[in-house]
Each structure stands twice: as structure tokens, then as C-alpha cells.
């Protein structure tokens, strides 16, 4: 009972920011294409600083699938790797956020830095939630 609630909370913490960013980006793109509204510079920084790290989250799921990586081989013939490899993949969006922060400091853009910091918090929450979910999944095996 408690595990199901924790999994639902962690899944919501992962999915909700992604949904918000995608909906906002679609709204801006729709307005740009069909209504001819110009995208402001601060909005571009929001989409880059918040969108790029959050939209890199699906990459963390694609890379192990493409490379056929797994933690345990149950006869499927996958490449068995340690827990650290999956931890690295889950923290990749966080590393992208940190890279965006360093880049914004380098080009001295405060608006981009602000959104990159917010995405760093969100992607760190994603990585911690995924590690927690992996621990819960390992206990059920």
C-alpha cells in the first residue's frame, strides 16, 4: 500500500514538469506558426534552459534500450551492467542542466541561468526518484 503511494508520488514528480514544459512549448510554437506571434528572448531562454534538460530525460530511457543493457539477465541475452551505469544514465539530464548553468555564466545571460537552475532541481529530483524506484523494483524481484 505504502509502496504504491510512493511510486505514484515519484512518478508524478517525474511526469508533471515534463508535461508542463511540453504543453508550454507547444503553445508557443502554435502561436508562432499560426498566429504570427514573435517569441521573446526571455521565452527562448525558458525553452532552452528548462526544456532541453527536461526533454533529455527520454534519452536516459532510450540509451539502455539501444545498447541492450540490463541489471539482471533472465535468459534474454542482454548485456549485464552494474547499478552505477544506470545511475549515470539517470543523472545525465542533471549533468545537462549543470552544463547549461556553466554556459549561461560564460555568456553572462541571467535569464537562461535562472531557468537552468530550475531544471537542475527538477532533473535532480528525477534522478533521485528513479533511483528510489529502482530500489523498490529490486525488492519485488
Buried b (16+ CB within 10 A) or exposed e, 7-38: eeebeeebeebbeebeeebeebeeeeeeeeee
Name 115's Cβ contacts closer than 8 Å, sequence gap at least 6: 45, 46, 48, 49, 50
Provide mean pLDDT across the span 17-46.
Answer: 71
Instruction: Compute the mean pLDDT over every residue in the chain, rounded to the nearest whole number.
Output: 78
pLDDT of residue 3: 62
Q: How far apart are the C-alpha atoms of 59 and 64, rounded to whole Å?
A: 9
| DSSP β-ladder status, 69-70 and 79-80 | parallel
Name the domain count of the chain.
1
| Number of Cβ within a 10 Å radius of residue 77 | 8
Query: For residue range 49-63, what is the model confidence (pLDDT) as tens digits?
Result: 777 887 788 888 888
Name 64's Cβ contacts closer than 8 Å, sequence gap at least 6: 70, 85, 86, 89
Residue 44 banded pLDDT, cuts 50, 70, 90: confident
Domain that holds residue 29: 2-140
pLDDT of residue 60: 84
Amino acid at each position: 500500500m505504502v509502496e504504491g503511494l510512493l511510486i505514484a508520488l515519484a512518478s508524478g514528480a517525474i511526469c508533471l514538469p515534463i508535461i508542463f514544459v511540453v504543453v508550454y512549448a507547444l503553445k508557443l510554437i502554435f502561436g508562432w506558426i499560426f498566429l504570427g506571434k514573435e517569441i521573446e528572448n526571455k521565452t527562448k531562454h525558458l525553452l532552452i534552459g528548462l526544456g532541453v534538460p527536461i526533454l533529455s530525460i527520454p534519452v536516459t530511457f532510450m540509451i539502455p534500450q539501444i545498447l541492450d543493457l540490463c541489471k539482471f539477465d533472465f535468459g534474454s541475452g542482454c548485456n549485464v551492467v552494474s547499478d552505477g551505469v544506470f545511475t549515470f544514465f539517470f543523472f545525465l539530464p542533471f549533468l545537462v542542466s549543470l552544463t547549461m548553468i556553466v554556459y549561461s555564466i560564460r555568456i553572462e545571460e541571467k535569464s537562461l541561468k535562472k531557468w537552468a537552475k530550475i531544471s537542475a532541481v527538477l532533473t535532480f529530483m528525477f534522478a533521485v526518484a528513479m533511483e528510489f524506484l529502482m530500489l523498490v523494483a529490486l525488492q519485488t524481484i
